[in-house]
Amino acid sequence: MKIIICDKTENEYIEQMRAAGLTVDARDDITPEQLMVELPNYDGMVVRSRTKVRQPLIDACPNLKVIVRGGAGLDTIDHEYAKSKGIAVMNTPLANSASVAELTIGYMLMLARSLYQAVASIKTEKWDKKSFIGDEIGGKTLGLIGIGNIGRETAKRAIVMGMTVIAYDPYVKEADGITLVTLDELLAQSDYISLHLPKTAESTGMIGAEQFAKMKNGVRIVNCARGGIVDENALYDALTSGKVAGAALDVFAEEPPTDWKLMKLDNVIASPHIGASTKEAQARVGAEVAEKLIAFAKKS
């Protein structure tokens, strides 16, 4: 089986695949134009966030048998269309969970204590203690929209820190230590709201002006899931009006953004989609990709 790896994958796991008898070409610099020409020569492909697998690419590759995405989501792949063509589509849903959960908690602490602003201030040689009176997150209510692998990892950490955790997820019936509520109940009760759900036709734009109006005054928002779930224009309005006290964003509707107005607000902290960017997560992703491809090849 001939595999092309289109995004960065640790060499140790590439060698594992080769040792198992797969022919593997690492092409993590391949352009979309080159991929359209070269992919028909391969049986399988490995992608991460950089490479998009859309219908025209799938149609150009009649020999393609398997697509593996290193990561939790499948929104970079037209996966239903690929499956309709007989192509197996897999991801690595567990590998990134701890890293994204830790970033979420870190962001909550930064928002609570105005850490970004405090660091920026002291780097200008100011000693301005009075401007940075923060809040404890212990005793506050965290509302999780989505309670899959990453949501549960976030909840575990938040509970240890003394938070009350509630969650909305129409696909989950129970979750240990977490009270399941309706979306409206979550919006009304939460001091912090964190998103942990895939981007789908159903979830796109699900947090907009109507939902912000139902939130507590001074709520804080964290999105380390997918851009486009939160309406960015509505979030901007909520942040500038004071309805939302602060937001932490690792993902955006367009990546990189073409409109930077959100990031220029003083009550917004942001990062360039680095939720899974830890050494540990990268290693787990590589290991899981190798394991799934080797198992698939053995069955083929």
54 is a catalytic site residue:
no
Indicate which residue of 10, 38, 185, 255 is catalytic.
Answer: 255
Q: Tokens 């239903």 correspond to what residue?
A: 80
Q: The dihedral of CA 150, 152, 155, 157: what is its sign?
A: negative
Strands 44-47 and 66-69, by their bridges, are parallel
* Environment class of 31 (CB within 10 Å of its CB; exposed 0-12, middle 13-18, buried 19+): exposed
Q: How far is the C-alpha of 276 from the C-alpha of 72, rounded, in Å? A: 9
Q: How far is CA 249 from its chain centroid? A: 10
Indicate which residue of 79, 226, 284, 288 is catalytic.
Answer: 226
Task: Write phi, then psi, for 87 (nearest 5 degrees).
Answer: -95, 130
Instruction: Using CA atoms of 272, 28, 149, 276 in order, give the dihedral in degrees to the nearest 10.
Output: -30
Indicate which residue of 10, 50, 113, 273 is catalytic.
Answer: 273
255 is a catalytic site residue:
yes
113 is a catalytic site residue:
no
Q: Which of these, 235, 179, 190, 254, lies nearest to 216 by C-alpha position?
A: 190
Per-residue tokens: 271: 């990062």
Q: The dihedral of CA 163, 100, 104, 240: what is its sign?
A: negative
284: left (phi over 0), alpha (psi -120 to 50) or beta: alpha
Q: Catalytic amino acids? A: 226, 255, 273
